[in-house]
Chains A and B, each alone.
Chain A
Amino acid sequence: MFKKNDYIILSVICFFLGLFIYMQYRGAQEYSRVIQPETNAIVALEVSKLTKTNANLRQEVRKLTTDLDTYKNSSASEQELYQKYLKDTEKFDIINGEKGASGRGIKIIIEGQMLVPQMVDLVNAIKNIGSDLLSINGQRILLTANLVNFAHQDKLQITVLGNSKLLKSAIERKGGIVEQISTKEMKISIEESEDLSVPAGAPIQLIQARIIND
Chain B
Amino acid sequence: MKLQCRKRRFSDARRRFSEARMYGASIHHEVAGVSTEGSRLGQSVDRTRVRGTHSVRRSHGIFWLSRKTEVLTHVYQQAARHKRHRFSSVVAIVLLTVVGCTSSATQNPDPANAVANEHQATVVSDRLGRTVSFEIPPRRIISLSPSTTELLFAIDAGDLIVGATEHCDFPAAANGLPRVGGGTLTSISREMIVSLEPDLVIAKWDSHEPLVKTMELLEIPILMMGADSIDDIFADARTLGGLTNHAKDAESLVDQMQSRLETLTACVRGIPDSERRTVFYEVWDDPLMTAGPNSFIGELLEIGGMKNIFADAKQRYPKISSEVAVARRPDVILAPSTHATRVSIDSLRQRQGWQDIPAIRDDAVFLIDGDQVSRCGPRVINALEEMIRTVYPNHYNASESR
- Do A and B associate with each other? no
